[in-house]
Amino acid sequence: MDYNFPDDLKAIREILGITQTELAKRIGVQQVTLSRNESGKTSASPKLLEQVYGFAFDHNIKLGRLKEMLWLENLKPGHKLLFHGAKSEIEGEISINKSRTNNDFGQGFYTGESYTQALSFVSGFDHSSVYYLDFNVSELKCKQYKVNQEWMLTIAYYRGTLEEYSEHPTIKKLITESRNCDYIIAPIADNRMFQIINSFIAGEITDEQCKHCLAATNLGNQYVFTSEQAVQQLKILERSYISFSEREHYKNLRAEDTRLGDDKVKLARRQFRGMGKYIDEILK
């Protein structure tokens, strides 16, 4: 899917209250170039995309967030707005079989609840973009997780650190339940959170310490689509271009959140020391 550049170009000019000629002068292109792109007579080059979207973000136009608000206002009953951060673009149809098998819940199509959340996970990639998706939630089976022992063990299994306990009845039951659904709603576990889960699996901290450390690094929920029936209820609404300026902005925000989260983890680890059970006590 291409970017909705003609409409975006008009929107940026209207928000700033400037003409094509003024914008062209300020970003260093010919007015005719903007005219042909705004009318849809030609497709924008990668350089022009960066010039226009970067200029907009640098002038405090948060176009991605604005679109999020507008799409939310126009959702039909029984539908949810979701976001997919792509390192480049979605090629072909949405599929549950294109992701890695060692993601939080194995193979599936992964989405988030907000534009900011989706962007933060792909801000380190030069050609990243964010997709807006309409999800029709009717007549689908959902499995929902919270930050608890079930969630921690399930993620540890799919991330490949529970080989020693893979035949344990408790683990088998958890994995069966994780696939007996069309989609999953669960807290996100990034690599930093997985390191905490790894400490629990290695027997360094208890489940109670792990739970509170993970809660301190809350990143919001993810929607993981695990069946073809669920994927068929997803419709791509729009693809959003991410300029260099915007990527840098969100990389810095995430770095700041990471520093704060690390300090909260240290406090949680100390506060709940001695509480709960270790992994070998749970999976005897």
Q: Comparing C-alpha atoms, which of 234, 52, 221 is closest to residue 143? A: 221
Which pLDDT band holds residue 268 (cuts at 50, 70, 90)? Answer: confident
Buried b (16+ CB within 10 A) or exposed e, 259-281: eebeebbeebbeebeeebebbee
pLDDT at 143: 95
- Check whether 91 has a pLDDT greater than 70: yes
Over range 28-33, report the average pLDDT: 93
Q: Comparing C-alpha atoms, which of 117, 93, 112 is closest to residue 235? A: 93
Q: Tell me the three-class secondary structure of 44-111, residue by residue.
A: CCHHHHHHHHHHHHHCCCCHHHHHHHHHHHCCCCCEEEEEEEECCCCCCCCCCCCCCCCCECECCEEE
pLDDT at 97: 85
Would strands 109-112 and 234-241 be described as parallel, antiparallel, or unpaired? unpaired
pLDDT at 225: 96
pLDDT at 200: 86
Structural domains of the chain sorted by starting position, each given as residue range(s) with its CATH number in brackets: 1-61 (1.10.260.40), 79-282 (no CATH)
Which pLDDT band holds residue 208 (cuts at 50, 70, 90)? Answer: confident
The answer to whether 271 and 213 have CB atoms below 8 angstroms apart is no
Q: Which has more confidence, 196 or 184?
A: 184
The answer to whether 71 and 81 have CB atoms below 8 angstroms apart is yes
- Check whether 260 has a pLDDT greater than 90: no
- Check whether 261 has a pLDDT greater than 70: no
The answer to whether 171 and 279 have CB atoms below 8 angstroms apart is no
CB atoms within 10 A of CB 192: 14
The answer to whether 105 and 154 have CB atoms below 8 angstroms apart is yes
pLDDT at 247: 92
Amino acid at 218: N
What are the start-end ranges of the E strands in the chain? 79-86, 109-112, 129-136, 142-144, 183-187, 221-225, 234-241
Which pLDDT band holds residue 36 (cuts at 50, 70, 90)? Answer: very high
pLDDT at 104: 86
Q: What percent of the chain has pLDDT over 70?
A: 97
pLDDT at 195: 80
DSSP type of residue 185: E
Over range 23-50, report the average pLDDT: 92
The answer to whether 147 and 215 have CB atoms below 8 angstroms apart is yes
pLDDT at 136: 94
Which pLDDT band holds residue 216 (cuts at 50, 70, 90)? Answer: low
Question: CA–CA separation, 16 vs 24, rounded Å?
Answer: 13
- Check whether 273 has a pLDDT greater than 90: no
Q: Comparing C-alpha atoms, which of 158, 122, 151 is closest to residue 240? A: 122
Task: Return the top range by mean pLDDT from 48-62, 164-178, 201-215.
Answer: 48-62
Residues facing 205 on adjacent strands:
none
